Amino acid sequence: MKLDVVLGLQWGDEGKGKIVDVLAGRYPVVARFQGGPNAGHSLHFEGKSFVLRSIPSGIFRKDSMNIIGNGVVLDPITFKGECENIESKTGTPVKERIVIAKKASLILPTHRLLDAANEAAMGKGKIGSTLKGIGPTYTDKVGRVGLRVGEILAPDFAERYKKLKDRHIRQLSQMGFECDPDAEEAAFMEAVEYIRGFKLVDCEYFVNNELKTKSILAEGAQGSMLDIDYGSYPFVTSSSTACAGACIGLGVAPHQIGHVYGIFKAYCTRVGSGPFPTELFDETGEKLRKIGNEFGAVTGRPRRCGWLDLVALKYAVMISGVTDLIMMKSDCLDTFETIKVCTSYKVDGQQTSQVPADTFAEIEPVYTDMKGWNTDLTGFRSEDELPQEFKDYIKFMEDYLEVPIKIISLGPDREATIIR
């Protein structure tokens, strides 16, 4: 069997949670392979809404197994709260449906303090971190000093925890950052005890054994343009958000990858700092933000909004070898007379269809104008019902990207979806 992958192709917030929830019915296993509680995958069904931060989006499917993989950084406090919220509101038996990789990294309370200290020290050059401790946890992982989930089973875990906490306290002191490093320690230890009640697995063996008889859906977090290697560095996340990250984060070989589903919005958004060539600073951008309810599911921060950037999108499609495209929030463009699409850049006066390596390059977007459809799409459930102008919009993108758009989302609910 194959490991299919779902990725965001922009700067995150593309709507991955809904699509994984829709696709999860086809897969007995759903796995997260990178990122942490900086994710905010929103799910809406049966009149209920949930924002999943660490838990895979297959959790609400009755027969689905959900894996938190090796490449994930897990905050025990956030995870415990998330699980308890789901159990109290839906009765979902989370301990029966979730397994956690022993090699996933632990986020300590002091990691979040370091995150805040680092961001404060950067001043105007700040990255726009969610302050969830993600970056410092990955830093400790690469520096070979971090703690992993499996270590909570060790008899000397408290000593290991103290050693890393003391290291963080020294770093915070050197930075002159005033804080209380003990404030959340009791809650952290209580959450660690809670996690001990879950099935902790050797993820690479578990996943490969499951693949012998079952298809698995790997769920990415953040977006391709935030990839640590191929995103708009340094305004990126701290993990590999491209398809290759699924191999590393779950312990599977590249030949095991099947379909690569790439999700994008019909326009662009970004949270935090960094380049955004098609960003709109006028009433059109504000209109997109209002119609699309573009505020962070985790942070509540207003998202920066702009027209669709096909140059960046094609770049992300190339990096991950996307086989199937999924377009979200098409309905948010229902009332626009003209819809602009960026089809090339001008960089230093030269026109190009490539994303420049220099993150700080001055980029002028070159637009193609498309006629709007001026039709409420939210009630449509078949492709035949769609207006011709919208079909033209889809064909234009497919021709440019050279990949078919297989799923079109016309609203937040599961049912508001056309599968082609």
303-361 pLDDT, tens digit each: 999 999 999 999 999 999 999 999 999 999 999 999 999 999 999 889 999 999 999 99
Q: What percent of the chain has pLDDT over 70?
A: 97
Please confirm, yes or no, whether 309 is among the known catalytic residues.
no
Q: DSSP per residue over 293-348, as a string?
A: T-B-TTT-PBPEEE-EEHHHHHHHHHHHT--EEEEE-GGGGTT-SEEEEEEEEEET
Q: Which of 21, 41, 115, 140 is catalytic?
A: 41
**pLDDT reported for residue 152:** 98
Q: Is 259 a catalytic residue?
A: no
Residue scoring higher pLDDT (120 or 151): 151
Percent of the chain with pLDDT over 90: 81
Annotated catalytic residue within 13, 21, 140, 331? 13
pLDDT tens-digit series, residues 358-384: 999 999 999 999 999 999 999 899 999
What pTM does this model have?
Answer: 0.92
pLDDT at 193 over 90: yes
Side-chain half-sphere of 408: how many Cα atoms within 13 Å?
26
Distance from C-alpha of 309 to C-alpha of 330, rounded to nearest angstrom: 15
The pLDDT tens digits of the residues spanning 4-40 come to: 999 999 998 898 878 877 887 899 999 999 999 876 7
- Look at residue 75 in the predicted model and tell me its pLDDT: 98
Chain centroid to Cα 137, Å, comes to: 17
Residue 296: the pLDDT is 73
Least-confidence region, from 119-128, 197-206, 312-321: 119-128
Q: What is the mean pLDDT of the chain?
A: 93
Give the containing element (helix H, strand E) for 159.
Answer: helix 157-174
Q: What is the pLDDT of residue 388?
A: 96
Average pLDDT over residues 49-66: 88
Roughly how many angstroms between the first and final C-alpha of the chain, as a whole number? 23
